[in-house]
């Protein structure tokens, strides 16, 4: 719950409902029921809180059944209905995950974790259910391994105050959300009976279930289910990319914003992921699905670590993803929606802060191992003459691979094969703090600006960790501008508006990107030589080179 929340619950909601018949009788005409902290959803009444600002906040609303017992490693199932008001004043537990080590740059701290975690949160400033505000659904990052929708950084009060209904969600993570196994695929086929049996991708299916809940319920909170924007950062942006690619999410949203994350390199294939899952089961000592599901979540994570399973991420399973995301976009088969994508100027600084020192020789060897015959071309655009330069060149190369190239590829493919416009941004503002020179505009630095949540940090507010900076007027102006762009986009599909610098539609020939930094304006040909080198590498890789 927001720290300035007043728990105007219970009595206020009941009185509002009791007063409605009297208002109708005395008004002599039509009356619109005011929105209160007591809202009736399709499954039952939820009782949230009214914040000092007047925004209503509802926390811990179930959008699927708890994925425990026999429902572990199954597609999300419908949540059960309830009788009487359900308390929606407190966040749910985060989905189970390994906690970050103390002192890590993105230290999650101590958080409550559970397999019973498929809940979402809603902030709304609508005065009545018929307001039909645009809806923004935030998908958190964390590599699909960590994170939660209840992080204070994602507090939705400010954006809700600008005329949107803001939703944040949880989804299953790591081996609980993305483990594939031959028996799980066979079980899914038995249940489906239509040739779509598969396993893995449960976390993506959770996100789809949350969007289905939005379609069925968000109008009760004053939201418009016909104007839904999905947005997310890092793995949350991967998720936005996944959702724009999967046919299972068709029609569930109309716009998308991706912050620093796309999946345009080759995806893991189902057979390989099933083999990794079989190794996890073997390490777990489980002979069948019953024994796998009987193991504790801690035992599953330990077995996953000991089996050296490579990754628990979205995979090409032939069902959720009929083919790789790149190929879906290249064929024009994506969910064709208005889109914004972008990345930050110093994505690698915080992510690779603990990386070991490397020599120039180490760096050259790494390029050869990763890029093969393209290693010389990579070294030409990421050069290094000293060991210190080699370390920086290595993480800049990796950051471009993970972020800059992914976002430009997204922009180019959508502009080429889609009918809806896409725009691109480059966030370069360096937050003011003692280590600004070291970290620059680091990975995730832009989130607090987009949410216009600078006021949540400051002296004594260290719960948002590395985002706790001494903001100045430039930061506050940028946060207001970004929030306005994002909200305008959610409302109309166009971020532009009165008093805002013009943001043009992306054109691959002009290659224009809106810089969001100390100054705001369009720059052209950003990182062109570097990203063109990645184009050549991946084109060769896809052709079998």
* pLDDT score for 110: 82
Q: Residue 293 and residue 173: Cα distance in Å, rounded?
A: 16
Residue 397: C-alpha distances to residues 105, 381, 530 (Å):
21, 9, 9
For residue 72, count CB atoms less than 10 angstroms from its CB and return exposed for 0-12, middle for 13-18, buried for 19 or more. Answer: buried
For residue range 212-266, list pLDDT tens digits in order.
999 999 999 999 999 999 999 999 999 999 999 999 999 999 999 999 999 999 9
Q: Is 16 a residue whose pLDDT tops 60?
A: no
User: What ranges do the domains of the chain cover?
Assistant: 1-223+266-335
407 closest CA partner among 257, 523, 203: 257
Which letter, b or e, does each residue of 524-533 get, where b requires 16 or more Cβ atoms within 10 Å of its Cβ?
eebbeebbeb
Burial of 302 from C-beta contacts in 10 A (0-12 / 13-18 / 19+): middle
Query: How much is the pLDDT for 103?
Result: 77
- Beta strand residue intervals within 454-519, DSSP E: 512-516
Flag whether pLDDT at 7 surpasses 70. Answer: no
Q: Residue 507's pLDDT is what?
A: 96
Determine the Cα–Cα distance for residues 121 and 125; give it in Å rounded to an integer.
14
DSSP string spanning 302-329?
HHHHHTT----S--B-SSSSSS-HHHHH
CATH homologous superfamily of 1-223+266-335 equals Alpha/Beta hydrolase fold, catalytic domain (3.40.50.1820)
pLDDT of res. 465: 62
pLDDT digits (tens, 9 = 90+) for 453-499: 999 875 444 456 677 788 999 999 999 999 999 999 999 999 999 99
Neighbouring C-beta atoms of residue 16, cutoff 10 Å? 16
Among the listed residues 516, 492, 491, the one whose alpha carbon sits nearest the alpha carbon of residue 503: 516
Task: List Cα–Cα distances, 338 to 168, 418, 423, in angstroms.
Answer: 20, 9, 9
CA distance 48 to 514: 38
Rg (CA), the chain: 24
Query: What is the C-alpha separation between 183 and 268, in angstroms, rounded?
Result: 18
Give the largest CA-CA distance in the chain: 84
Buried b (16+ CB within 10 A) or exposed e, 146-160: bbbbbbbbbbbbbbb
How do residues 264-282 score in pLDDT, each as one tens digit?
999 999 999 999 999 999 9
- Classified as helix, coil or strand, 128 is strand
pLDDT of res. 14: 38
Lowest pLDDT segment from 8-12, 214-218, 323-327, 365-369? 8-12
Cα(137)–Cα(254) distance, integer angstroms: 11
Predicted local distance difference test score (pLDDT) of residue 195 = 62
Task: Calculate the CA dihedral of residues 474, 476, 482, 487 and round it to 10 degrees.
Answer: -160
Q: Do you know the residue count of the chain?
A: 545
Give the pLDDT score at 309.
73
Q: What is the mean pLDDT of residues 326-336?
A: 98
pLDDT value of position 190: 86
Over residues 359-381, the mean pLDDT reads 97
Active site residues: 234, 347, 443
pLDDT interval class at 397 (50, 70, 90):
very high
pLDDT the model gives residue 108: 74
The proportion of the chain whose per-residue pLDDT surpasses 90, expressed as a percent, equals: 84
Q: Which position has the higher pLDDT, 93 or 192?
A: 93
What does the H/E/C string look like for 334-352?
A: CCCCEEEEEEECECHHHHC
Judged on CB neighbours under 10 Å (0-12, 13-18, 19+), 80 is exposed
Instruction: Give me the mean pLDDT over the 340-348 stretch.
Output: 97
**CB-side neighbour CA atoms (13 Å) of 465:** 17
- Taking only the tens place, the pLDDT of each residue in 498-534 is 999 999 999 999 999 999 999 999 999 999 999 999 9
pLDDT band for 1, please (50, 70, 90 cuts).
very low
- In angstroms, the CA 489 to CA 487 distance is 5
Model confidence at 29: pLDDT above 90: no
Query: Could you read off the pLDDT of 98-151 as tens digits, one per residue?
Result: 988 877 888 777 899 999 999 999 999 999 999 999 999 999 999 999 999 999
Give me the pLDDT at residue 417, please. 98
CB distance 251 to 299 below 8 Å: no
Which residues contact residue 463 at a Cβ distance below 8 angstroms, ignoring those fewer than 6 apart? 109, 152
């Amino acid at each position: 719950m927001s720290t300035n929340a007043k728990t105007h619950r219970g009595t206020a909601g009941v009185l509002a409902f009791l007063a409605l018949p009297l208002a109708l009788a005395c008004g002599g005409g039509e009356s619109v029921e005011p929105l209160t902290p007591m809202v009736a959803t399709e499954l039952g009444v939820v009782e949230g809180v009214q914040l000092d600002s007047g925004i209503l906040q509802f926390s811990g609303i179930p959008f699927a059944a708890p994925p425990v017992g026999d429902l572990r490693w199954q597609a999300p199932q419908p949540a059960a209905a309830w009788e009487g008001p359900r308390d929606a004043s407190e966040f749910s537990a985060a989905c189970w995950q390994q906690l970050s080590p103390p002192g890590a740059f993105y230290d999650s701290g101590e958080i409550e974790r559970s397999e019973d975690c498929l809940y979402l949160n809603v902030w709304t400033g609508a005065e009545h259910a018929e307001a039909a505000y645009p809806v923004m659904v935030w998908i958190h990052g964390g590599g699909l391994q960590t994170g939660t929708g209840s992080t204070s950084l994602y507090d939705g009060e400010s954006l809700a105050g600008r005329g949107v209904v803001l939703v944040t969600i949880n989804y299953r993570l790591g081996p609980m959300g993305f483990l594939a196994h031959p028996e799980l695929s066979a079980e899914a086929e038995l249940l489906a009976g239509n040739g779509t049996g598969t396993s893995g991708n449960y976390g993506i299916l959770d996100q789809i279930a949350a969007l289905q809940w939005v379609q069925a319920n968000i109008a009760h909170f004053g939201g418009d289910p016909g104007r839904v924007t999905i947005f997310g950062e890092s793995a949350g942006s991967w998720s936005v990319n996944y959702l724009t690619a999967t046919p299972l999410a068709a029609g569930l949203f109309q716009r998308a914003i991706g912050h620093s994350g796309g999946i345009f390199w080759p995806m893991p294939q189902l057979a390989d992921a099933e083999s990794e899952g079989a190794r996890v089961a073997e390490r777990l000592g489980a002979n069948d699905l019953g024994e796998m599901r009987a193991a504790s979540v801690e035992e599953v994570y330990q077995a996953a670590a000991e089996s050296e399973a490579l990754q628990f991420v979205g995979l090409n399973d032939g069902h959720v993803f009929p083919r790789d995301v790149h190929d879906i976009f290249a064929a024009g088969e994506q969910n064709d929606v208005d889109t914004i994508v972008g990345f930050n100027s110093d994505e690698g600084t915080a992510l690779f802060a603990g990386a070991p020192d490397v020599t120039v020789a180490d760096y050259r060897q790494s390029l050869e191992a990763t890029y093969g015959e393209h290693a010389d071309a990579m070294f030409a655009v990421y050069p290094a003459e000293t060991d210190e330069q080699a370390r920086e060149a290595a993480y800049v190369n990796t950051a471009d691979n993970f972020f800059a190239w992914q976002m430009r590829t997204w922009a180019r493919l959508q502009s080429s094969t889609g009918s809806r416009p896409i725009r691109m941004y480059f966030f370069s503002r360096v937050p003011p703090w003692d280590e600004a020179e070291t970290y620059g505009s680091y990975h995730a630095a832009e989130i607090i600006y987009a949410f216009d949540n600078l006021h949540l940090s400051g002296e004594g507010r260290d719960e948002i960790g590395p985002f706790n900076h001494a903001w100045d007027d430039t930061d506050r102006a940028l946060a207001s501008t970004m929030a306005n762009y994002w909200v305008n986009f959610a409302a109309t599909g166009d971020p532009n508006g009165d008093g805002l610098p013009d943001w043009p539609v992306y054109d691959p020939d002009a290659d224009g990107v809106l810089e969001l930094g100390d100054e705001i304006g369009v720059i052209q040909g950003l990182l062109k030589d570097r990203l063109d080198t990645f184009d050549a590498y991946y084109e060769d890789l896809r052709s079998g080179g």
